[in-house]
Chains A and B, each alone.
Chain A
């Protein structure tokens, strides 16, 4: 029978290296099926449960300052709703918007001051269904992170990340919402 010719055993390391890299994709949340995790990378994504059904958006969202009825100025954050992973499935809801009251002088510098602010059960919410009905409710909007980043050619852009939930009437519950949006300052109307 052949035996080992030589066995070498070593230990006592003095150095090791680890490398790192970065990217910006949304990532599914293993704890909440159908939703994406809360990130602050500018991943262009929002997701939530509406009556326990997952909805996600990975492209179409708007941030704008509106002057509506009674001269009330609001910062409106809205996005389209799609049933998660199925753009072809019929959905009862088309879009959702949160309207945060702000001073008429609200500008991009004030936007950065929203960082870390939580508006509890006080933000008017409109849920648009696919029959063009506007369903009103009240929600919570938590700006976990609002920051200004530099991109290629030193272009500045805003990254807004946070959490939301809402009650629309007595029968529609928006829960476990999270968003991570990126805005070019030049595209904002304030």
Chain B
């Protein structure tokens, strides 16, 4: 998972920000067992199971000043909350659905709900670069689903490096 995080601070003298998180998720590949009662076919075959996740989070929050050193580097605590969606898609490659049954299959699953997040943000190098350690709660949709999937709503813990882009009012 490679999360891309965009944060926009719309006010000059306020640490209020709007954030959008769009992780790029690698496909999870694993084997799945499929079986048949047909005498003309192998009784057991291995299938390739591919699980993908598309997730978005959008929210707003505020930054709280914690520390500033002589070089002007700043450490702040960012707290935020918002709405997130997670859409798991499952695909079985070369699956003969007419003759075979997958044992304990996975299913496509969509979650949406609210999240809360906290991040420690260290801004340095003339406030152009920053390091951020951010943790986001899983969404409030977690209690609605009971099938024993191999996956569940994510609770990402991210350590990211990033750049600030400053714009001036005309």
Interface residues of A (CB under 8 A from B): 1-25, 27, 30-32, 37-41, 118, 120-121, 140, 142, 144-145, 161-165, 176-178
Instruction: Indicate whether A145 sits within 8 Å of B159 (C-beta atoms), given known contacts A4-B8, A8-B164.
Output: no
Residues in chain B near residue A21, CB distance under 8 A: 148, 152
Instruction: Indicate whether A9 sits within 8 Å of B152 (C-beta atoms), given known contacts A25-B147, A27-B107, A39-B103.
Output: no
- A11's contact among B2, B104, B148, B152, by CB below 8 Å, is which? B2
Are B162 and A178 in touch, CB under 8 angstroms? no
Min CB–CB distance A23 → chain B (angstroms): 4
Residues in chain A near residue B146, CB distance under 8 A: 23, 25
Residues in chain A near residue B168, CB distance under 8 A: 3
Residues in chain A near residue B150, CB distance under 8 A: 20
Are B43 and A118 in touch, CB under 8 angstroms? yes
Instruction: Indicate whether A13 sits within 8 Å of B1 (C-beta atoms), given known contacts A4-B10, A19-B153.
Output: yes
In residues 87-120 of chain B, which contact A (Cβ within 8 Å)?
Answer: 97, 101-105, 107
Pairs of residues from A and B, 10 with the lowest C-beta to C-beta distance, nearest first: A10-B162, A8-B7, A14-B159, A23-B146, A6-B9, A10-B160, A38-B101, A4-B167, A140-B37, A7-B165
Are B2 and A13 in touch, CB under 8 angstroms? yes
Report how far A14 CA is from B134 CA in the complex, Å.
11
Residues in chain A near residue B72, CB distance under 8 A: none
**Chain A residue at smallest Cβ distance from B148:** A22
Q: What 0/1 readout, one digit per residue, does chain B (1-16) give for beta carbons within 8 Å of chain A?
A: 1111111111110000
Known: A12-B162, A18-B154, A142-B36. 6 other contacts (CB 8 A): A12-B160, A16-B154, A22-B148, A25-B147, A140-B39, A178-B101
Are B162 and A8 in touch, CB under 8 angstroms? yes
Q: List 15 A-B contacts (CB under 8 A).
A: A4-B8, A5-B169, A8-B163, A9-B162, A11-B162, A16-B23, A19-B138, A19-B155, A27-B107, A30-B107, A37-B105, A38-B35, A38-B102, A38-B104, A162-B35
Are A5 and B167 in touch, CB under 8 angstroms? yes
- A144's contact among B3, B6, B8, B35, by CB below 8 Å, is which? B35
Min CB–CB distance A39 → chain B (angstroms): 5
**Chain B residue at smallest Cβ distance from A176:** B101
**Chain B residue at smallest Cβ distance from A3:** B167
Are B104 and A41 in touch, CB under 8 angstroms? yes
Are A10 and B103 in touch, CB under 8 angstroms? no
Instruction: Indicate whether A3 sits within 8 Å of B35 (C-beta atoms), given known contacts A11-B2, A15-B157.
Output: no
